[in-house]
Amino acid sequence: MIFAKESLIRAAPKRVFAFHELPDALERLTPPWENARVVKAAANLHVGSTALIETRILGLFPVTWMAKHTRYEPPRMFEDVQIEGPFRSWRHRHVIEPHAEGSILRDEIEYEPPFLLLGKFAAPLLIVPRLRRMFDYRHAITRKWCESATKEDDD
């Protein structure tokens, strides 16, 4: 299954990428309503670095989610994959493309939900709305930080 979210950010790609490299970026991008806690943020976005998050499935069942960075191409893209977690598979590409008004930020997620066939049927009702809400929040947080910069910050 594929989920994608795309937004215009009125800042240079270098600035948008820099936001994601902040030491507390993952905490900033975690919506307050999500029952998730960053146990260990990745040291950086470089290939091989890992992050560990504690979360809950359906708000009830605790699960550990470990993601590993597998691609790093500043300032255009980085990727992480689930090593351990709630999904059968999860690959998340963060793509930043130049645009006449700044940058296009696109999150592309290829995933296989848990619970096999049941998960595939439940995804449109449970997973997709949750992803949509989460990535709307993430893009708004990214936009706010990136667009609050002064011109000197991009130099």
Q: What is the pLDDT of residue 120?
A: 78
Q: Which two tokens stand for residue 110?
A: 């290829």
Please give the helix or strand (H or E) that residue 90 lies within, else none: strand 89-99
Rounded to 5, what percent of the chain is helix, strand, coil? Answer: 30, 40, 30
Q: How far is CA 73 from CA 27, 144, 154, in A?
A: 22, 23, 18
pLDDT tens-place values along the chain, 155 residues long: 999 999 999 999 999 999 999 999 999 999 999 889 999 999 999 999 999 999 987 677 889 999 999 999 999 999 999 999 989 999 999 999 999 999 999 999 999 988 777 677 787 878 899 999 999 999 999 999 999 965 444 44
What whole-number distance in Å separates Cα of residue 56 and Cα of residue 135? 18
Domains of the chain (ranges, CATH numbers): 2-148 (3.30.530.20)
Q: What is the pLDDT of residue 41?
A: 93
